[in-house]
């Protein structure tokens, strides 16, 4: 019998210590017509129920009703059921919904593929970074079977949240100044007043009032997963959608946009005769985040609830997402949507060139005021970014 050859010991894998950098400035290289973009198209969805448990369905979809003007958004703060992730959620729910969709035996059960898979929030951070000197992010990426999976660096976010909540309050606050926790609450309270679980046409005024008076909670969510593209790069993005303005078209109809609505709160502007440039500037800067967030999932309408400094709802204004870049161009010009799109397209191309080796974890970091995104290898494997369940699912394909 031939003698068994001793198996050759694998050389220890050496992590590359190389750091690669992408400079955001100068922005003029991103000006001009925007890179080709595809209208986002929903490919899957899922819900979190009232215990924040995952469900393969649309049970947490809500419908918009106009909230009562004059409502105090601080009301009910003491009863707020606030959900915050204690464990790293990674991309697990998004991938679960993709597996569910692929296994359902309708005609669209082909593999749902893209160059990048991530939460919408990561792309919002990337897209808006060119116009925010204070922008900072920390993410992890890994390449698996040709797709780059990108997630938030959960430990660093949890640490900065903890630091923020232990910060002492300001010594001499403005009399109307509210604590940070309250400012987070009233965004959700605005949603409670504006969303009901059944179409308004089949809901009685008494039922609507009962929903509006219910305890505010952010446990339940409905998330839409869309396929989209920036220039040559395809993406699968998952994110929360607040509500519907009308019925959702059947999933077989991919040409009609879903009439999602994004709800936002903002401090009311002074009356026109007292408005100063800086008031408009502050609001239009805020619109960049609203636009990017909604644009990425193809949410066509944004309803802004204006509030006083102390949180009383004083007015509503509806914006068409696709009209916002033009509005700001004609206004203060403080951001340019084409630059955001071109920057994101270039950045994704560069990231593809960095995240090249399978079985590696890369960190993708933008430090505040640095203006430079740095990518380096930080570990082996997939770092939990791609769930084990999903790795097996792809292996079995």
Chain residues that interact with Mg ion, rule: CB under 5 A: 240, 242, 263
Q: Report how many helices (DSSP H) and strands (DSSP E) the chain contains, helices first.
A: 9, 16
Nearer to ligand A3P among residue 61 and residue 386 (C-beta): 61
Angstrom distance (rounded) from CA 169 to CA 161: 15
Nearer to ligand A3P among residue 296 and residue 354 (C-beta): 296
Q: Strand 195-196's sheet: what is its strand order? A: 195-196, 63-64, 243-244, 260-267, 301-307, 313-320
Q: Is residue 307 helix, strand or coil?
A: strand
Chosen from Mg ion, ligand A3P, none, partner binding at 48 (C-beta under 5 to 8 Å by type): none
Chosen from ligand A3P, Mg ion, none, partner binding at 231 (C-beta under 5 to 8 Å by type): none
Chosen from Mg ion, ligand A3P, none, partner binding at 56 (C-beta under 5 to 8 Å by type): none
Nearer to Mg ion among residue 147 and residue 194 (C-beta): 194
Nearer to ligand A3P among residue 67 and residue 325 (C-beta): 67
| Distance of closest approach, residue 394 Cβ to ligand A3P, in angstroms | 30
Chosen from ligand A3P, Mg ion, none, partner binding at 137 (C-beta under 5 to 8 Å by type): none
Angstrom distance (rounded) from CA 347 to CA 29: 12
- Residue with nearest beta carbon to ligand A3P: 187
Nearer to ligand A3P among residue 184 and residue 203 (C-beta): 184
Residue where the block lists tokens 């500037």: 281
Q: Is residue 173 helix, strand or coil?
A: coil
Cis peptide bond N-terminal to 284, omega within 30: no
Angstrom distance (rounded) from CA 378 to CA 383: 10
Nearer to ligand A3P among residue 264 and residue 360 (C-beta): 264
| Distance of closest approach, residue 265 Cβ to ligand A3P, in angstroms | 4
Nearer to Mg ion among residue 101 and residue 189 (C-beta): 189
| Distance of closest approach, residue 199 Cβ to Mg ion, in angstroms | 19
| Distance of closest approach, residue 240 Cβ to Mg ion, in angstroms | 4
| Distance of closest approach, residue 149 Cβ to ligand A3P, in angstroms | 22
Angstrom distance (rounded) from CA 72 to CA 212: 12
| Distance of closest approach, residue 321 Cβ to Mg ion, in angstroms | 13
Chosen from ligand A3P, Mg ion, none, partner binding at 343 (C-beta under 5 to 8 Å by type): none
333: left (phi over 0), alpha (psi -120 to 50) or beta: left
Question: Which residues of the chain form contacts with ligand A3P (CB under 6 A)?
Answer: 184, 187-188, 190, 240, 242, 264-265
Chosen from Mg ion, ligand A3P, none, partner binding at 265 (C-beta under 5 to 8 Å by type): ligand A3P
DSSP codes of every residue in 200-248? GGGS-HHHHHHHHTSPPB-S-EEEEEEEEEETTEEEEEEEE--EESSPP
The sign of the CA dihedral 120, 335, 284, 132 is: positive
| Distance of closest approach, residue 176 Cβ to ligand A3P, in angstroms | 17
Strands 137-144 and 195-196: unpaired
| Distance of closest approach, residue 305 Cβ to Mg ion, in angstroms | 10
The answer to whether residues 63 and 197 touch, using CB atoms and an 8 Å cutoff, is: yes
Nearer to ligand A3P among residue 187 and residue 300 (C-beta): 187
Chosen from ligand A3P, Mg ion, none, partner binding at 233 (C-beta under 5 to 8 Å by type): none
Chosen from Mg ion, ligand A3P, none, partner binding at 184 (C-beta under 5 to 8 Å by type): ligand A3P
Please report the beta strands in the chain, taking only residues with DSSP state E, as ranges in sequence order. Answer: 19-23, 37-48, 54-55, 63-64, 116-119, 137-144, 147-152, 195-196, 221-230, 233-240, 243-244, 260-267, 301-307, 313-320, 360-366, 372-380
| Distance of closest approach, residue 136 Cβ to ligand A3P, in angstroms | 12
Nearer to ligand A3P among residue 265 and residue 363 (C-beta): 265
| Distance of closest approach, residue 196 Cβ to ligand A3P, in angstroms | 16
Nearer to ligand A3P among residue 75 and residue 240 (C-beta): 240
Chosen from ligand A3P, Mg ion, none, partner binding at 188 (C-beta under 5 to 8 Å by type): ligand A3P
The sign of the CA dihedral 118, 121, 123, 125 is: negative
The answer to whether residues 210 and 180 touch, using CB atoms and an 8 Å cutoff, is: no
């Amino acid at each position: 019998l031939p003698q068994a050859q001793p198996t050759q010991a694998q050389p220890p894998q050496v992590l590359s210590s190389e750091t690669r950098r992408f400079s955001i400035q100068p922005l003029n290289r991103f000006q001009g017509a925007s890179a080709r973009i595809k209208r986002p198209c929903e490919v899957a969805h899922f819900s979190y129920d009232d215990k924040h448990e995952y469900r393969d369905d649309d049970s947490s979809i809500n419908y918009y009703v106009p909230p009562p003007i004059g409502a105090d958004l601080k009301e009910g703060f003491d009863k707020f059921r606030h959900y915050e992730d204690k464990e790293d959620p990674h991309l697990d729910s998004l991938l679960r919904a993709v597996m569910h969709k692929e296994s359902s035996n309708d005609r669209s059960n082909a593999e749902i593929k893209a160059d990048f898979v991530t939460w919408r929030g990561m792309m919002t951070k990337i897209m808006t970074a060119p116009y925010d000197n204070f922008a900072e992010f920390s993410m992890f990426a890994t390449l698996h079977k040709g797709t780059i999976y990108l997630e938030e660096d959960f430990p660093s976010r949890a640490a900065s949240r903890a630091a923020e909540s232990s910060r002492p309050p300001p010594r001499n606050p403005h009399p109307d100044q509210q604590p940070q926790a309250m400012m987070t609450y009233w965004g959700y309270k605005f949603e409670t007043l504006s969303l009901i679980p059944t179409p308004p046409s089949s809901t009685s005024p008494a039922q609507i009032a009962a929903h509006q008076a219910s305890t505010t909670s952010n446990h339940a969510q409905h998330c839409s997963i869309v396929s989209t593209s920036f220039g040559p790069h395809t993406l699968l993005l998952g994110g929360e959608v607040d509500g519907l303005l009308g019925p959702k078209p059947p999933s077989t109809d991919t040409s009609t946009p879903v009439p999602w609505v994004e709800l936002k709160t903002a401090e009311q502007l002074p009356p026109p005769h007292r408005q100063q440039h800086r008031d408009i500037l502050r609001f239009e800067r805020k619109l960049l985040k609203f636009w990017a967030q909604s644009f990425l999932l193809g949410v066509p309408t944004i309803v802004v609830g204006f509030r006083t400094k102390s949180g009383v709802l004083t007015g509503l204004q509806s914006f068409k997402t696709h009209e916002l870049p033009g509005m700001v161009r004609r206004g203060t010009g403080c951001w340019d949507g084409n630059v955001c799109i071109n920057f994101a397209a270039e950045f994704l191309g560069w990231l593809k060139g960095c995240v090249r080796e399978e079985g590696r974890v890369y960190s993708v970091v933008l430090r505040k005021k640095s203006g430079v995104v740095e990518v380096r290898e930080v570990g082996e494997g997939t770092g939990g970014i791609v769930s084990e369940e999903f790795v097996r699912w792809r292996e079995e394909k």
